[in-house]
Structure 1
Amino acid sequence: MMSEISIVNHNKIRIAQQFSRAADTYNSAADVQLDIAFDAMAYVPLRYKSGLDLGCGTGRISQQLATRCDKLVAMDLAFGMLAYAKQNSLRDDASICWLQGDADAIPMADNSVDMVFSSMALQWSEDPQKVMSEITRVMTSGSNAVLAIMCDGSFNQLNDSWKSIDSQRHVNNFATAQTWYDAATSQGLQVSMKQKQYVTWHANIRQLLSSIKAIGANVLLTNQNLTEQSKPEIKNVFNRHKLQHLEIYYRQKYAENMQLPLTYQVCFLHCNK
């Protein structure tokens, strides 16, 4: 059985690889992610000296954030995302510094930025306390953090439909909004939180699953109870028979106007240090 440390590292490697593969398809598929990021941008101050875009992905929001600051560090775990972002950046190199790094161990000095932004990235961390500790560490006194995080309740229709077929876990367990709020306040941050639900609609189950894969979000995180012997079973779940049953159940219980809904439950944390 894997040690807890190696499990976390294994998951991070898989996340980075999957999102790197999705770099070319992300922008065309990630409409709801863009909506969420724009909603988060409403909380960002109009002007600041130095900023950090944590989990910048393809950099399309980084370029907007960079118009509001003198210097922006755009960081992501996935090298493929960073390479795409840098290649497609519309701004000069002096305004944005592209950095590969892990939100659990941000490779930046203490008290080095006066604004931290993150949209739809932090849910991939398995330790909210560690992430919030790192974010607080790099923030200067009086600075802000604006964080949009996918929470418990996301993909609930998909999770419920899979449970009608077998007992295996097919959808990641997302931390609750309260868990993230508590993690932020435990660092001494002043926090206000709002929650909002977003729903995407899909013609069939294959299109729905493809929408998750196209943005790189189809990584099922390993946990300490998952043995090496059980992995081949998980790789073999997407066969035609199971997908057919999944579609029937999903459609009977959740379809509206012949469309299948997929819910994203998002919490917005506005933090002050």
Structure 2
Amino acid sequence: MTDLSVATCAGHLPDKRQVAVSFSRAAASYDSVAELQRDVGHALLARLPAGLAPQRWLDLGSGTGYFSRALAQQFPHREGLALDIAQGMLAYARPLGGATHFIAGDAESLPLQADSCDLIFSSLALQWCGDFAQVLSEAHRVLKPGGVMAFASLCVGTLSELRDSWRAVDGQVHVNRFREFATYQQLCADSSMRVLDLQSQPHVLHYAQVRQLTHELKALGAHNLNPGRPEGLTGRARLQALVSAYEQFRQPQGLPATYQVVYGILEKTR
């Protein structure tokens, strides 16, 4: 991955203000369609180092608080922080408990003191951050020596079937863009933390019809947020062309939607 590719990636990512608004609107519907998010988050929990016993943990990009509550169960009687950029998500999560504090904030500029957390847990949130190197720098600052950052994110290859089907219809940007896995590898290697584990794994969901997938993405707040996306409603003829193009991917289980998930475990050594 060249430096130019790394630098230009951020220009292809959504404006975080739009991300915050979109996920705030989706707060009430999110958990009803968050099968992938639950599966990935539980897989990330299972990857935490054995014997980890944080006095204070941070759920970074906490959303509806599902994993804040899971962390509270796994690490009882500890202080937990739930931080999200979407005020609507925090308002939804706060009455459900789990965390000790619910904080509005940005992963690239954490409103937390240095050396204040033992664990930063972040599942399927950091793909929306334009400057991942800054995310890692902030995590290093906030973690105590010996602290762990565990994250799950998305990379290139995510929703490839939907992207290719739209390409058969028109040349516009319909599917969110994500970083190359090689970019995650480079930025983690260049960070001030030790990489304990970093790998990419596909998660494949299946749908009976394309509209079930697109409805789910909207309910998650994760529909197309890219610069260059088409404005306004999509015409019936183009939607039918999308449906026809997607049919080439059909499997016995249904229409596949592949998510390329990056799992990373990093440790602050100093």
CA distance in 1, matches of 2:103, 2:259: 28
CA distance in 2, matches of 1:244, 1:8: 27
Work out which of the residue numbers 109, 115, 120 in structure 2 matches 1:111: 115
What is the match of residue 93 of structure 2? 85
What is the match of residue 209 of structure 2? 204
What is the match of residue 50 of structure 1? 56
Work out which of the residue numbers 265, 268, 271 in structure 1 matches 2:263: 268
CA distance in 1, matches of 2:174, 2:43: 29
What is the match of residue 82 of structure 2? 74
- CA deviation digits over 1:42-78, x for unaligned, max 9? 1235421011110000001101112316111110010
Work out which of the residue numbers 121, 127, 152 in structure 1 matches 2:125: 121
* Secondary structure of the structure 2 residue equivalent to 1:167: coil
- CA deviation digits over 1:198-236, x for unaligned, max 9? 1111111111101111111014222xxx5xxxx7xx123
What is the match of residue 3 of structure 2? none
Superposition RMSD in Å:
2.0
Identity across matched positions, percent:
36
Letter in 2 for 1:246: L
Work out which of the residue numbers 239, 242, 249 in structure 1 matches 2:238: 242
CA distance in 2, matches of 1:250, 1:145: 37
CA contact (8 A) 1:116 1:144 kept: yes
What is the match of residue 216 of structure 1? 221
- Most deviating of 151-160 and 193-202: 193-202
CA contact (8 A) 1:36 1:119 kept: yes
Letter in 1 for 2:167: K
Unaligned runs of 5+ in 2: 1-7
* Secondary structure of the structure 2 residue equivalent to 1:145: strand
Work out which of the residue numbers 59, 63, 66 in structure 1 matches 2:65: 59
CA contact (8 A) 2:198 2:264 kept: yes
CA contact (8 A) 1:14 1:219 kept: no
- Most deviating of 177-186 and 197-206: 177-186
TM-score of the aligned structures, taking structure 1 as reference length = 0.88
TM-score of the aligned structures, taking structure 2 as reference length = 0.89
CA distance in 1, matches of 2:253, 2:91: 39
CA distance in 2, matches of 1:43, 1:9: 28
- Most deviating of 212-221 and 49-58: 212-221
Letter in 1 for 2:239: L
CA contact (8 A) 1:15 1:219 kept: no
Work out which of the residue numbers 173, 179, 187 in structure 1 matches 2:177: 173
Q: 1:8 to 1:168 in 2, by over 3 A?
A: closer
CA contact (8 A) 2:173 2:226 kept: no
Unaligned runs of 5+ in 1: none
CA contact (8 A) 2:13 2:178 kept: no
Q: 1:257 to 1:8 in 2, by over 3 A?
A: closer
